[in-house]
């Protein structure tokens, strides 16, 4: 059974810092891994999708990497801004479209 | 891009009543949709897989008689919370796949008084 965990659970950084969010999964036979952002009381905003054949994806200040052999994915945020404050969720799917979500990292970027 | 909508966006109901939540794929067809539940400060947990024209598949621990799912068309799945109790208060999110991507609805916040 796939289990997805995220470390740290919460993170507070000053504006401008580069930061890394970690996602670990127990079953390496994943199909996709996706990173989402969730603002308080809101739905999900998709950030980056990494297919199992890929090692990383980039969008603007965001870079996500995937290492299936070690069961890990990281989300790198460059030059963080207060507007980046949100909860970040990673989710893994094993090909049936059923996403198993991680526990989330609550990020706060201080101005 | 593909869009998934949910209605209502929030609902407040009395304990013991039933509430229906709709999930629509606006510009694509989806034979399968998924329903998730998110309690405060927790992650999303998959509740069930909604299958067009057949019975839904429920995850372990989810009561199928309490959470009724109907996927009557290729663009609409409904989740009915029957005999709602305060512990059913949660954020319910649906999703629908298109090619290799899962598209999520904006969520419905249910509060049971």
Q: What is the dihedral of CA B69, A92, A110, A58, to 10 degrees?
A: -120
Q: Which residues in chain A have Cβ-Cβ distances shorter than 8 Å to B46? A: 98-100
Reported confidence tier of residue A97, pLDDT bands at 50, 70, 90: confident
Whether residue A88 contacts residue A8, with contact meaning beta carbons closer than 8 Å, is answered with no
Whether residue A9 contacts residue A103, with contact meaning beta carbons closer than 8 Å, is answered with yes
pLDDT at B76 over 80: yes
pLDDT digits (tens, 9 = 90+) for B90-108: 999 999 988 878 889 999 9
pLDDT of residue A96: 67
Contacts with A66 (C-beta within 8 Å, 6 or more apart), sequence order: A33, A50, A52, A54, A55, A56, A72, A73
pLDDT at A55 over 80: yes
Percent of chain A whose predicted confidence (pLDDT) is above 90: 77
pLDDT digits (tens, 9 = 90+) for B24-58: 999 999 999 999 999 888 889 999 999 998 899 99
As a whole number, mean pLDDT of residues A71-93 equals 96
Task: Report the gap between the CA of B16 and the closest CA in chain A (Å).
Answer: 25
pLDDT digits (tens, 9 = 90+) for A13-42: 999 999 999 999 998 888 889 999 999 888
A44 contacts chain B (CB < 8 A): yes
**Helices and strands in chain A: count of H runs, count of E runs:** 0, 11
Contact between chains at A99 and B102 (C-beta distance less than 8 A): yes
């Amino acid at each position: 059974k796939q289990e997805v965990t995220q470390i740290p659970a919460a993170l507070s950084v000053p504006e401008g810092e580069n930061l890394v969010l970690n996602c670990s999964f127990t079953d390496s036979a994943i199909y996709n891994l996706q990173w989402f952002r969730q603002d308080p009381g809101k739905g999900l905003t998709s950030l980056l999708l990494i297919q199992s054949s890929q090692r990383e994806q980039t969008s603007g200040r965001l870079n996500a990497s995937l290492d299936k052999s070690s069961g890990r994915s990281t989300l790198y945020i460059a030059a963080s801004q207060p507007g980046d404050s949100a909860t970040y969720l990673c989710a893994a799917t094993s090909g049936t479209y059923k996403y198993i979500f991680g526990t989330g990292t609550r990020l706060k970027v201080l101005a | 891009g593909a869009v998934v909508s949910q209605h209502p966006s929030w609902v407040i109901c009395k304990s013991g009543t039933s509430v229906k939540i709709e999930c629509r794929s606006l510009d694509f067809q989806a034979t399968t949709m998924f329903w998730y539940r998110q309690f405060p400060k927790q992650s999303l947990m998959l509740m069930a897989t909604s299958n067009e024209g057949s019975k839904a598949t429920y995850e372990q621990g989810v009561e199928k008689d309490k959470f009724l799912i109907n996927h009557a068309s290729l663009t609409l799945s409904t989740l009915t919370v029957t005999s709602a109790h305060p512990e059913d208060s949660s954020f319910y999110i649906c999703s629908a796949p298109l090619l290799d991507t899962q598209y999520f609805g904006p969520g419905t916040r249910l509060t049971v008084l």
